[in-house]
Amino acid sequence: MIARIAIGIVVLSACVMAPAALQSQRGVDVMALHEDGVGPMRLGRDFDEVEHLAFRTAGESASSGIGCNGLAEIRYHGTLGGQAVGVMAMTGSNHIETVEITLQQPTAARSHDDCLMLRDRFAEPFLARYGAFDANWQVNKPVSRETLARTGPVLVEARWFHRGTDCYISARYGDLRARR
């Protein structure tokens, strides 16, 4: 009799606690900015744990696998500062080494200055969280002009391609150039 009561209490406790645990994982804001990443994508975290959380919290947009650079990646889509973005975490070990947020739309700019305006709008949530850019520099490459800026732990980049209208905008946690 005591054993049945004990089993009943354990089962009842599990039934009461399971929805709360599930809700807390679903309640993760996949676009919340942190000092070490975005949502569940946090530097140093176990890759398998982050992958599991991303699939639970980002739902249908989550994916994972080996990326074009040969590193394991986890990806999902969301909205940050009213803009469509992609979030990606990468690892060469079993811990998250880099978290990158990329602007999905718009990505066209007629000039380098237009590309910088897209970057500045994209950067608003980071600037609100970490403060003004404390470093800003430019790298000229044969096919692009890259303007990099640092705010807190984040490196924000605008890469404008001379021969077209493409403008690649991203923010990265874990980029060593951010320590410049």
In a domain, 84, yes or no: yes
| 21 Cβ contact partners less than 8 Å away, ≥ 6 residues apart | none
The one-letter amino acid at 44: G
Pairwise pLDDT comparison (62 vs 23), residue with the higher score: 62
Measure the CA–CA gap between 131 and 104, rounded to whole angstroms. Answer: 24
Measure the CA–CA gap between 162 and 141, rounded to whole angstroms. Answer: 10
Query: 18 pLDDT exceeds 60?
Result: no
158-168 residue pLDDT tens: 999 988 789 99
- Look up the domain containing 170 and give its range: 33-179
Angle at 119 between CA 108 and CA 173, to 5 degrees: 120
97-114 residue pLDDT tens: 999 999 998 788 999 999
In a domain, 28, yes or no: no
In a domain, 161, yes or no: yes
- Looking at the structure of the chain, the number of domains it has is 1
The one-letter amino acid at 53: L
61-79 residue pLDDT tens: 999 999 878 889 999 999 9
Q: How many CB atoms lie within 10 A of CB 69?
A: 8
In a domain, 6, yes or no: no
Q: What is the pTM of this model?
A: 0.81
Measure the CA–CA gap between 98 and 67, rounded to whole angstroms. Answer: 13
